[in-house]
């Protein structure tokens, strides 16, 4: 029961990564088209002959913290990517040149192998709620040095349809700081703004991230981060990501605490032995528990009747 609750809770956690706050009430899909599978000829990742050694390739080892996923450890270079969350019991492994995503669950000892063209078409690795919001990445002129690297700020703007929950003209708008009806707004301003804004979509600052550019970082790493957190991807190494919650406050979902540039070997991206390959996220998260799943019953499939939580073993 405890393992199930933990893993089912994680499904919601990763879904929560996608959009916090108001976006969780009116879920979204990025408008960008899915990228095609990378090839040696089309990959944007630059290859520096000085970055390769007989033992492997130079890359980064990153330790980051998240208010949702706890501590995460990452290794990345032009040969592959590995991201591990001990709290959630999940490990992602991607290797060049195909960059398929293998996702391992240490509790169930099951894993999935998703082709590049499949996982990059998803809004996130886990199920999303209503996809009604449009996300747009905006580059700013703000820069700063983080962990010895030059970074640039990117804003993620969310556009909600008129009358969306938490937005002007919709239910719950008074709970969003800076919105009409929130503390500090006058009754007259609230009435006028709500009446006007209800007739058109509303754009708010949903998140921000600070990204460093480095040829050692494969662009697939940022694509992976985008799918985990459900946000648009930008080439480079994200060192800090924060987003707005439903109460309007900003919280950190990815904060780099340690960054080391070092040689990384291909052995660090080897598949984990002894795990059972499964076809769906539900099977991966729940293992051998019999929930009456069919082979096609993935999280992108039509919903089926599930046992209640208190009926689980």
pLDDT at residue number 309: 34
**Least-confidence region, from 68-82, 175-189, 213-227:** 175-189
Among 127-136, 187-196, 231-240, 255-264, the range with the most confident prediction by mean pLDDT is 255-264
**Least-confidence region, from 153-162, 168-177, 211-220:** 168-177
Tokens 């009358």 map to which residue?
163
pLDDT at residue number 192: 55
Query: What are the tens digits of pLDDT across the range 25-61?
Result: 333 334 344 444 444 433 333 333 334 444 568 999 9
Residue 279, token pair as written in the block: 């076809």
pLDDT > 70 in the chain, percent: 59
Contact 210, 239 (CB under 8 A): yes
CA distance 142 to 140: 5
pLDDT at residue number 218: 94
Rg of the chain taking only CA atoms, in angstroms: 21
Decide if pLDDT at 275 tops 90: yes
pLDDT at residue number 132: 53
| pTM, rounded to two decimals | 0.65
Residue 107, token pair as written in the block: 């509790």
pLDDT at residue number 103: 96
Mean pLDDT for 263-285 is 93
CA distance 67 to 127: 20
**Least-confidence region, from 160-169, 172-181, 185-194, 277-286:** 172-181
Beta strand segments in the chain, E: 52-53, 56-66, 70-77, 80-85, 90-95, 101-105, 110-114, 134-146, 149-160, 202-212, 237-244, 250-264, 276-277
- Phi and psi at residue 43, to the nearest 5°: -60, 135
Q: What band does 191 get if pLDDT is binned at 50, 70 and 90?
A: low
State how beta strands 110-114 and 276-277 pair.
Answer: parallel
Query: What are the tens digits of pLDDT across the range 241-255?
Result: 998 877 778 889 999
pLDDT at residue number 5: 45
Mean pLDDT for 213-228 is 90
Decide if pLDDT at 293 tops 50: no
Q: Shortest CA distance to 22 belongs to which of 215, 211, 176?
A: 176
Residue 228, token pair as written in the block: 């985990």
**Mind listing the domains of the chain with CATH numbers?**
2-131+253-311 (2.50.20)
Q: What band does 93 get if pLDDT is binned at 50, 70 and 90?
A: very high
pLDDT at residue number 265: 92
pLDDT at residue number 202: 81
CA distance 33 to 18: 17
Decide if pLDDT at 167 tops 80: no
Decide if pLDDT at 77 tops 90: yes
pLDDT at residue number 19: 34
- The DSSP bridge partners found for residue 153 are 210
Mean pLDDT for 257-286 is 94
Provide the mean pLDDT of the chain.
73
Mean pLDDT for 142-156 is 95
Decide if pLDDT at 11 tops 50: no
Instruction: Identify the burial level of 206 via C-beta atoms within 10 angstroms of its C-beta, where 0-12 means exposed, 13-18 middle and 19 or more buried.
Output: buried
CA distance 90 to 6: 12
| CB neighbour burial string for 221-233, b if at least 16 within 10 angstroms, e if fewer | bbbbbbbbbbbbb
**Least-confidence region, from 42-51, 160-169, 191-200:** 42-51
pLDDT at residue number 241: 93
The residue among 117 and 9 whose pLDDT is bigger is 117
**N- to C-terminal Cα separation, the chain:** 6
CA distance 88 to 109: 13
């Amino acid at each position: 029961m405890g393992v199930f609750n933990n893993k089912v809770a994680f499904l919601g956690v990763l879904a929560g990564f996608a959009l916090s706050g108001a976006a969780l009430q009116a879920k979204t899909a990025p408008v960008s088209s899915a990228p095609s599978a990378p090839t040696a000829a089309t990959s944007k990742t630059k290859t520096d002959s000085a970055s390769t050694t007989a033992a492997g390739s130079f890359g980064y080892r990153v330790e980051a913290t998240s208010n949702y996923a706890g501590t995460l450890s990452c290794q990345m270079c032009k040969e592959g990517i590995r991201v591990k969350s001990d709290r959630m019991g999940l490990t992602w492994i991607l290797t060049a040149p195909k960059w398929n995503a293998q996702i391992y669950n240490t509790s169930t000892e099951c894993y999935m192998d998703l082709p590049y063209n499949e996982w990059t078409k998803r809004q996130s690795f886990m199920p999303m709620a209503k996809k009604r919001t449009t996300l747009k990445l905006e580059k700013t002129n703000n820069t700063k040095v983080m962990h010895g690297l030059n970074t640039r700020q990117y804003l993620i703007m969310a556009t909600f349809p008129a009358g969306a929950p938490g937005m002007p003209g919709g239910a719950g708008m008074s709970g969003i700081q800076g919105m009409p009806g929130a503390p500090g707004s006058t009754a007259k301003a609230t009435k006028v703004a709500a009446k006007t804004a209800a007739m058109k979509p509303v754009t708010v600052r949903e998140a921000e991230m600070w990204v460093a550019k480095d040829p050692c970082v494969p662009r697939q790493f940022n694509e992976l981060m985008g799918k985990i957190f459900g946000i648009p991807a930008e080439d480079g190494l994200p060192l800090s990501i924060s987003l707005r919650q439903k109460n309007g406050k900003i919280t950190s979902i990815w904060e780099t605490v340690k960054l080391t540039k070092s040689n990384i070997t291909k052995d660090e991206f080897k598949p984990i032995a002894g795990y059972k390959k499964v076809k769906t996220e539900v099977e991966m998260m729940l293992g051998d528990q019999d929930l009456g799943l069919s082979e096609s019953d993935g999280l992108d499939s039509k919903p089926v009747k599930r046992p209640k939580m208190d009926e689980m073993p």
